[in-house]
Amino acid sequence: MSETEPTTSEATSARDGADAATPSRRPGRERGRDDGKFGPYGGQYVPEALMPAIEELTDAYRRYVLGNEDGFMDEFRERLADFGGRPTPLQRADRLSERYDREVYLKREDLLHGGAHKLNNALGQVLLAKYMGKERIVAETGAGQHGTATAMAAAHLDIPCEIYMGERDINRQRPNVFRMKLNGAEVNPVTAGRGTLKEAISETMRDWATTVENTHYVIGSIVGPHPFPVMVRDFQAVISEEAREQSIEKAGELPTDVVACAGGGSNTMGTFAGFVDDEAVALHAVEAGGSTLEVDEEAGVAPNSASLYTGEEGVLHGARTKLLQDSDGQIMESHSISSGLDYAGVGPELAYLVDEGRVSPVAVDDDAALEGFHRLSSTEGIIPALETAHAFGFLEEHHEELGDRVVVNVSGRGDKDLDAAIEETDKRDIDEAPDMSMFTGGI
Ligand SMILES: *Cc1c(COP(=O)(O)O)cnc(C)c1O
């Protein structure tokens, strides 16, 4: 929406301090805002019934998010600070810096309220719904992380909230279901199909199509039809706006490399957005390599979630992007040790930036991620989410290819994953893992 933005003439040339203070003027930060197109990716592949909702939301995004109408962005920033706890620190990781013989900095999104980056987006969208005059929020959730962030934001802003969640996931994620209910949300079980995230998204879209007058759908990542991918990126971009300034403050210059894990890719684009135009800064998107990158076409299963690395172009949930699909174009079941990365697609903007050679995709398998989980816990005193742990698996395997100053986004904390970590650790022989033999029968 260039007409509501300052001109970009200075941003295209400058790479000085003033530029660092105004990352929102940078052209890479504006990609896709007009039409949601990222090369061949993105778009609005939705049924006719959803078009009015999409158009109304696009208009609201332009006015409130891009145009700061009624001071929307000011209120968003203030609530992110007071309710969310922003800014999050950029912390030098002393032991990892020593281990890898380069400066390693951690962007601590695990310290955001709720324990992950997800609140940046949930709070932005729920607040936008209020500005739009909506009286009800719906959202989908897989493992429950986006559902809990949305329920939290809805309670904070006093608006009724319903979460759609697959029946199988409800039974696997009891603490998150309890969290949502504690915050006053209703949790609607979805029994269709396999009862997981994919069906929950479809069910939420169905609800939204018939209730659009009073309801907003809070999507959980940089996926879905335009304007969701750009809007979610713009809400998450606060991560890199802070990290860019903090890097200059702490290290005196920009990082050489920026690393983030990628499921749908919202923490990823949030961490990359402010650096996209700094050609000298290498951007690494770390995907879940699962148990192997080999695909079992017969069974319709990809034992990984590496859609950037191995995916093919197709349409899912309203956008064209890279997907895990078989040769007939059927979406395959994905797998990862971390539920938050376990998705067959990825945001269209990331797919585009990978094709352009601007973002390097890397797959890190379950074993390396679990080792990363233990390494960060034992060396730095930070227990990361299993999603985040993939970024530390990447660091261990690829640090020799990186420059002198590396920023890694710690997308979330690992408290939610302790049961899974115990179970997965028990199956493996990991150097850094604690000795738990005092429990009879192991851990
Ligand atoms: C949900 C989640 C992710 C993956 O989502 P993106 O949209 O890819 O960022 C990564 N890390 C954590 C901690 C999460 O909760």
Beta-strand relationship, 405-409 and 103-107:
parallel
Q: Is 414 in the pocket of ligand 1 (CB under 6 A)?
A: no
Q: Does the active-site annotation cover 411?
A: yes
Question: Which is the catalytic residue, given 118, 134, 198, 322?
Answer: 118
Counting residues of the chain whose pLDDT is more than 70, the rounded percentage is: 93
Q: Range with the lowest mean pLDDT among 4-13, 32-41, 138-147, 379-388?
A: 4-13
Ligand 1 contacts CB of residue 221 (under 6 A):
yes
Q: Could you tell me the pLDDT band of residue 14, with boundaries at 50, 70 and 90?
A: very low
CB contact at 8 A, 377 and 369: no
Percentage of the chain modeled with pLDDT above 90: 74
Report the C-alpha gap between 89 and 110 in whole angstroms.
10
Q: Could you give the CA distance from residue 443 to residue 437 in angstroms, rounded to a whole number? A: 7
Segment 12-28 mean pLDDT = 44
Q: How far is the CA of 263 from the centre of ligand 1 (A)?
A: 6
Residue 168 has pLDDT above 90, yes or no: no
**Active-site annotation holds for 140:** yes
Please give the number of the atom of ligand 1 that sits closest to the Cα of 388: 11
Contact 351, 38 (CB under 8 A): yes
Please say whether the dihedral angle defined by the alpha carbons of residues 319, 325, 326 and 332, taken in this order, is positive or negative. negative
Element (H, E) at 72: helix 72-82
Residue closest via CA to ligand 1's atom 7 equals 266
Task: Please check whether residue 153 is in contact with residue 126, taking contact to mean a CB–CB distance below 8 angstroms.
Answer: yes
Q: Where in the chain is the domain with CATH 3.40.50.1100?
A: 50-83+118-233, 90-114+237-426
264 confidence band (pLDDT: 50, 70, 90): very high
Phi, psi of 423 (to 5 degrees): -60, -45
Q: Do 424 and 337 form a contact (C-beta atoms < 8 A)? A: yes
Q: CA 21, 23, 26: angle at the middle one, nearest 5? A: 135
d(CA 187, CA 143): 13
The verdict on the CB of residue 141 being under 6 Å from ligand 1 is: no
Burial string for 144-157 (b: 16+ CB within 10 Å, else e) reads: bbbbbbbbbbbbbb
Query: Which atom of ligand 1 is nearest the CA belonging to 341?
Result: 4
Instruction: Point out the catalytic residue in the list 30, 103, 109, 140.
Output: 140
Q: Which atom of ligand 1 is nearest to the CA of 222?
A: 7
Q: How far is the CA of 281 from the centre of ligand 1 (A)?
A: 22
Catalytic residue among 247, 360, 377, 411: 411
Give me the pLDDT at residue 268, please: 98
pLDDT at 436: 77
| Burial annotation 11-30 (CB, 10 A radius, 16+ → b, else e) | beeeeeeebbeebbbbebbb
- For the question of residue 5 being annotated catalytic, the response is no
**From the CB of 287, is ligand 1 less than 6 Å away?**
no
**Side-chain half-sphere of 393: how many Cα atoms within 13 Å?**
27
Residue 19 has pLDDT above 80, yes or no: no
pLDDT over threshold 50, residue 25: no
Between the CA of 76 and the centroid of ligand 1 the distance, in Å, is 21
Dist. CA 411 → ligand 1 center (Å): 6
Between residues 22 and 417, the one the model is more confident about: 417
| Structural contact between residues 241 and 24, judged by C-beta atoms closer than 8 angstroms | yes
Residue 15 confidence (pLDDT) above 80: no
Q: Are 274 and 25 in contact (CB under 8 A)?
A: no
Q: How far apart are CA 128 and CA 83, in angstroms?
A: 16
Per CATH, which fold does 50-83+118-233 belong to?
Rossmann fold (3.40.50)
Q: How many CB atoms are located within 10 Å of the residue 327 CB?
A: 7
Q: What is the pLDDT of residue 287?
A: 96
Q: What is the pLDDT of residue 169?
A: 86
Q: Please give the order of strands across the beta sheet that includes 136-141.
A: 186-190, 161-166, 136-141, 215-217
Cβ 304 vs Cβ 288: under 8 Å: yes
Over residues 311-333, the pLDDT tens digits come to: 999 999 999 999 999 888 888 88
b/e string for 62-82 if b means 16 or more Cβ within 10 A? bbbbbeeeeebbeebeebbee
User: What mean pLDDT comes out for the span 354-375?
Assistant: 97
Q: Is the pLDDT of residue 1 over 70?
A: no
Of 153, 140, 134, the closest CA to residue 75 belongs to 153
Residue 2 confidence (pLDDT) = 35
pLDDT at residue 428 tops 50: yes
User: What is the distance in A from the centroid of ligand 1 to the CA of 121?
Assistant: 11
Residue among 232, 223, 186 at smallest CA distance from 205: 223
Atom of ligand 1 nearest to the CA of 223: 7
pLDDT band at residue 441, thresholds of 50, 70 and 90? low
Complete DSSP assignment for 197-215: HHHHHHHHHHHHHHHTTTE
Residue length of the chain: 443
Q: What is the pLDDT of residue 197?
A: 84
339 lines ligand 1 (CB under 6 A): no
pLDDT band at 12 (very low <50, low <70, confident <90, very high): very low
Cβ 266 under 6 angstroms from ligand 1: yes
Q: Output the DSSP codes for 107-153.
A: E-GGGSTTSBTHHHHHHHHHHHHHHTT--EEEEEESSSHHHHHHHHH
Q: Which residues contact 63 (CB under 8 A, 6 or more apart)?
A: 69
Give the helix/strand (H/E) hosting 35: none
The listed CATH number (3.30.930.10, 3.30.60.50, 3.40.50.1100, 3.10.20.90) that belongs to domain 90-114+237-426: 3.40.50.1100
